[in-house]
Structure 1
């Protein structure tokens, strides 16, 4: 009768699991996907209207801080956004503020500077050693800015730019613009008559919509002509005016001169974040509806509507593995609700960084001043300095020559020797 035979200690059946165990222990663990860098571009919070119209019953004195200022509602909106960002990036950002991991820049406007500060108050409530006063749940965090005249990153449209103004003039002759004007001619005339404005066009009517929206939001009385239907039509024309700025006609060319400038900077920041020694984790730009609109037009993800208060466009850079980076975009346009995903045309929502860069190259100007058809200010300055210097030298020479001539003319007769003979005759 055949008997079973036990495998010996050297049997392959026992060696296999041992080898598998060694492989599992010694093999490097696969790198988990990790968030590496975040860019935020958000609009300021609720504000008072930036101006009024002649027949408006509510003057600037009706607003506690005057025109164009952040309201208490706007402060709360950005504090809420800061709290949402704190929750979204828990574990990515430090619990306490660290100047090495976040950078915030704002346009040089009260409402955007204050919005950034309110946002940071929600994002970084002080704790522990960062509490400088137990009665104040706030800590000062820097917000950088540059003067309006030098801001070519966040203030839109960026001017002066002759080529952009030429494209705007071409847009006024486009079929869509002409049709929109024709369809709303009587309506615009009615609005002009009711408001007391001498001129009301597709490009200026946004301000009427804005004023009525602000007054309605703050429970102020509206004129009888501003019915819900009229306000809805004004809102539609306001959205059209934003599209006029950055789209409708030659959108890509406009983007190269406008929103593409911000896209270029965001891409450079992402590329710098590839470096593991870079401590910076988040850059936030506090700006305006035109900033968000210009950016989203350049990305070709604009939904056709004005960006609401405290809305936020989010870029997230992930490292999927060593040297393998992807980008995801989101848009937060409603408080309390999670941001919804945005997809760059031509790519998936999770877009490889190299593809993200490549797809956006058409909206990036290599030489912005040249494409804007702005003269070479450096060369012009040198020419002017040269001409001034030459003029000064010429004037100096003329003055020197005149001085010599005048001196010769006014010189008294010098000493003349009188001969002894003549003297004796005298």
Structure 2
């Protein structure tokens, strides 16, 4: 049962006195969607100077720096939310869900380690202050919540039409000279923003891990590739229907959990953590109409808080070590942003029956 506003205020005030920190209202329920930590490349290219580099953690896995990032994100969440985070991990109070990807599964474990180090009776090895926490996930082809890779025939049709749209054709026309330059130097055909997405992902990791960039890459080019990388992420949720089939599923899921908790129709964990990818955050942010084109960094997180009177607050932590998350003003949610106002404001991107709506299809129309 939720505590009264007065009791919550008194608890918050008491906590602030103990911690000597600025007080913020304690939520009733928390949903944290975060991007995994820094990883190694998943591929190379023919003229890659580091294509034979031996990555000690393997291709596509977290680097040691990435492990530290997500562990620190866990400790930062623990500090930021203070007394709201239980002293002891308890499965009915906390739920971790992840993408099928092993870098996400590892990230979920690391965040759990930072958030719930064992204490007192939960310490099972004094030399290892860590405890196993169950991570739930679905296979890639069944996951429409985090990896968002479940087959949706009508989404695929609409995505194909977006790929052939004036917008994407204009991208290709604008970047034609760049495509030729990159094709010549990489030794592989680069003829789409999707190809640049893959290439930039490799080069960015070289930068982050202090490996030298190829001689034909400079800061100006990297900045341009970063913009194109973000443009490519955005086209996966270009239309309202696509937003509904991707980010809308996540929004509907957490709204249903919040509603169940408020109505006391189901026991819902107070802390819900979701380990995902950059495109997971992009899908959700675009469904919320918060931003058009952007690139989430490793360890960034989107946080949904449920407060008294069914009020929802949304925050974004742009990096794992940012001091405080920034509250987001939801453009489609009338203040106060209650669950009902949220549902009404975002009705067009909230699926009612995802599987059924994957069979319904309205022909894509360009703006």
Q: TM-score range by the shorter chain?
A: 0.7 to 0.9
In terms of Rg, which structure is larger?
1
2:321 equivalent to 1:325: no
TM superposition shift of 1:198: 2.5
Trace 1:12-411 onto structure 2 (pairs within 5 A). Answer: 32=8, 35-59=27-51, 61-156=53-148, 158-247=149-238, 251-275=239-263, 278=267, 280-302=269-291, 304-319=293-308, 324-334=309-319, 335-347=321-333, 351-373=337-359
TM superposition shift of 1:301: 1.2
CA distance in 2, matches of 1:279, 1:195: 50
Maintained 8 Å contact 2:190/2:196: no
Cα deviations by residue, 1:282-312 (Å, 9 ceiling, x for unpaired): 1111111111111111111135211110111
Maintained 8 Å contact 2:245/2:354: yes
RMSD over aligned Cα atoms: 2.1
Q: How many residues align?
A: 340
Gap runs ≥5 in structure 2: 10-25, 361-367
Closer, same or farther in 2 for the Cα pair 1:346/1:148, shift >3 Å?
closer
Closer, same or farther in 2 for the Cα pair 1:309/1:208, shift >3 Å?
same
Maintained 8 Å contact 1:79/1:118: yes
TM superposition shift of 1:31: 5.8
TM superposition shift of 1:349: 6.9
Maintained 8 Å contact 1:343/1:349: no
Maintained 8 Å contact 1:191/1:200: no
TM superposition shift of 1:91: 1.4
| TM-score, scaled to structure 1 | 0.76
CA distance in 1, matches of 2:276, 2:335: 25
Cα deviations by residue, 1:344-389 (Å, 9 ceiling, x for unpaired): 1133675122101211211122232332228xxxxxxxxxxxxxxx
Cα deviations by residue, 1:389-411 (Å, 9 ceiling, x for unpaired): xxxxxxxxxxxxxxxxxxxxxxx
Gap runs ≥5 in structure 1: 1-27, 375-426
**Secondary structure, counterpart of 1:90 in structure 2:** helix
Maintained 8 Å contact 1:83/1:123: yes
Deviant stretches of 4+, over 6 Å: none
